[in-house]
Amino acid sequence: MKPFYEKLSRIIVNTQYFSRWTVLVIDSLIATFATLCVFILLNFLGHSLVAADTLLYFVGISLLVSVGTFYAFGTYRGIMRHTTIQEILRLSVAAIVKSIILLGVLIALRNVLKISFPISDLFVAQLSDMVLSAALLVFMRILLIYIYQLVLTSLNKVSRRVLIYGDNSQSVALSTYISNNLHAEYKIMGFVKMQERITKLTLHGVPVFTIDTYDYFAEVIDKKDINAIVFPSQASVMAEKDGLIEFCIKSHVKVLVQPQLSEMPKDGSIQNVIREINVEDLLGREVIDINMKEVSGFLEGKRVMVTGGAGSIGSELARLISTFPIEMLIVLDNAETPLHNIQLELTDREKANKGAEFNLNSFGEHYKFVIADVRDAARIDRVFDAYRPQIVFHAAAYKHVPLMENNPCEAINVNVLGSRNVADMAVKYEVEKMVMVSTDKAVNPTNVMGCSKRLAEIYVQTLSRAIISGEVAGKTKFVTTRFGNVLGSNGSVIPRFKEQIIAGGPVTVTHKDIIRYFMTIPEACRLVLEAATMGNGYEIFVFDMGEPVKIADMARKMISLAGFRPDEDIKIEYTGLRPGEKLYEELLNSKENTIPTEHQKISVAKVREYVMSNVLADYAELKNLVLAMDKMGTVKQMKAIVPEFKSKNSIYEQLDKPEN
């Protein structure tokens, strides 16, 4: 019997919703049944309002009136097992209108139907019909909801007992979603909110725990055997990151969150709609607003190219840009598999958005995925010639500090000469604007990677000024954007820590006092788009990175979030600063080194200006040294062009000595 019940239960929850026409028929039959019951009951009580042979006419008229009324009110469009208060009200009003119309029809056809009883009795009959119809219709929906919830509860036997944070509309919506989902594997034990005054309230049939002290909250967790707290939004996470969340982490209570809309899975699977909180959520800041209308106007109808389009920043830029009404998106990268992955992702998204209207040939006309290397000037020339981009976002770069410290010639090849190739082609093919993605490590650089990005900045900024002054023929405007580390980017510290935690440790940190500025990838890319619409064409825009984060503290928090105790379950080891690495990154947006813009999160950097003829001569010498694979000579020339480049923890420190 038990297997049969479980099988039947799964059939119930997995059955598709009734068609709207089926719902219309069911509602109409219920309302008609109410009419039949009223007149049978009144006859039984001795009133004898309607003869048995006439009652069938009453039933037929009631059925026709019910179908017409419920169709007109659209009550059949709702999903019965997810009925809302608004739908119940609409249904009740429809039942009332049905009874009023039926009363009018019976009065009008009184002689035809040979109704001999007083009109007052007919009013009583229809009032009873009205009440019974509404009651039966509402009862049927409540019964369906109850059965559905009962079946879900019986199937979800192994559930995590959770509390929902807050008691606002977002919290209620999240509770409803979890409760109605077969695969949720969560049992909601109540809601929790931080409040000084303890009250005894219920919401959705479960208690609302108002917490005034963490000792009381610990009692609630123990008494209700709570496994996790679910937060309905990123904003609610930020509100409690130093309070309730910190307590939960220390108490080994899981913290879950409903992701932002951009993270939601296409299939709506609950496993992804509710996820465990991660360190990125706790490091996030208030949402940065950008002028979407201005960005849309800037990109509308344009052919847009993204170099390094398969990387962390480039791929996110491609995703964002594809949502605007552009003519064409050209995604360029030299990494085959990552480029293939972003191609599949954008194709799938276009299919999901357009459905049956999706056409692969049309997609191919608007999206181009190009294998090319920015170091190959001839190849970049052919790509620009073929697609004639009007806006270029240049994100192709080598970024790992220790690797570039050991390979300075390759750093120059990609980050400087590659950027020059893209910039020169932008001028040649009359690109309207080129936006170059740079880094905070270009500020007073202490490593090869940072200096190579500063050299790229110098070239595009000087070229832009030369165009404006008429020294170089062209119309292209060049904008550079600088920001710090991005959370979760390929090869960055957070993915590395996650791998080490999964492996059981140790988690390696270079220095106990090292700090960095962080920004999420979507946040950085949104600001890049905003900066692209600003300026006269030679500025270096820097982003507000917020407060710096101590890497050792981040490691401890990640270990705790994974359910382990730092320095006990998983050790933290300090390995020493790597070549070219410094303890503190330069502050990007101080009043001393930046000028404010109309956007409070974006400023313009004050930097040294260069002469175009000198830059060309210096870069020609730099290229010769790179071709000769002269590492020491290459770095020496870099320092000559960028005198603020002082090496740290590197073999190139010898070049900073006075005798050199």
Q: Say if 397 falls within a structural domain.
A: yes
Q: Is there a single domain that holds both residue 131 and residue 183?
A: no
The continuous run of DSSP H or E covering 367 comes out as strand 367-371
Q: What is the mean pLDDT of residues 76-90?
A: 64
Distance CA 573, CA 455 (A): 35
Q: What is the pLDDT of residue 40?
A: 76
491/344 same-domain check = yes
User: For position 5, what pLDDT does the model report?
Assistant: 43
Which of the four pLDDT bands, split at 50, 70 and 90, describes residue 328? very high
pLDDT (0 to 100) of residue 78: 58
- Tell me the average pLDDT across 126-147: 77
Which pLDDT score is estimated for 391? 95
Are residues 273 and 299 part of one domain?
no
Active site residue 441: yes
Q: Work out the pLDDT band at 268, boundaries 50, 70, 90.
A: very low
- Residues 394 and 485 placed together within one structural domain of the fold: yes
Domain boundary pick from 122, 154, 186: 154
Interval 625-644: pLDDT, tens: 999 999 999 999 999 999 99
In whole angstroms, what separates CA 174 from the centre of its chain?
Answer: 16
Same domain? For 150 and 164 the reply is: no
Structural domain boundaries, residue 420: 292-641
Q: What pLDDT is recorded for position 436?
A: 94
- Which pLDDT value is given to residue 414? 96
Query: Could you tell me the end-to-end alpha-carbon distance of the chain, in angstroms, rounded to an integer?
Result: 89
> Which of 51-65, 383-397, 556-570 is predicted with the least confidence, judged by mean pLDDT?
51-65
CATH of the domain at 512: 3.40.50.720
If DSSP codes are grouped into helix, strand and coil, which group holds residue 329?
strand
pLDDT at 155: 52
Catalytic residue, from 441, 453, 582, 648: name it. Answer: 441
Smallest Cα–Cα separation from 317: which of 521, 489, 491? 521
* Max intra-chain CA distance, the chain: 123
For residues 346 and 331, give the distance between their C-alpha atoms in angstroms, rounded to a whole number.
Answer: 11
Do residues 77 and 20 touch, judged by C-beta distance below 8 A?
Answer: yes
- With respect to residue 536, please indicate whether it lies within any of the assigned structural domains: yes
What is the average per-residue pLDDT within 573-578? Answer: 86
Q: Evaluate whether 49 touches 125 at the Cβ level (below 8 Å).
A: yes
Q: What is the pLDDT of residue 81?
A: 53
Q: What is the pLDDT of residues 84-134, one digit of tens each?
A: 667 777 777 888 888 788 778 777 776 676 666 667 667 777 788 788 888
Mean pLDDT is lowest, of 138-152, 327-341, 414-428, for: 138-152
Q: What is the pTM of this model?
A: 0.67
Q: Which two tokens stand for residue 595?
A: 């000028």
Instruction: Please provide the size of the chain in residues.
Output: 660
More confident residue, 203 or 319: 319
Q: Are 145 and 169 in contact (CB under 8 A)?
A: no
> What's the rounded mean pLDDT across residues 538-544?
82
Residue finishing a domain among 113, 137, 154:
154
- The per-residue pLDDT for 16 is 47
Are 584 and 515 in contact by the 8 Å Cβ rule? The answer is: yes
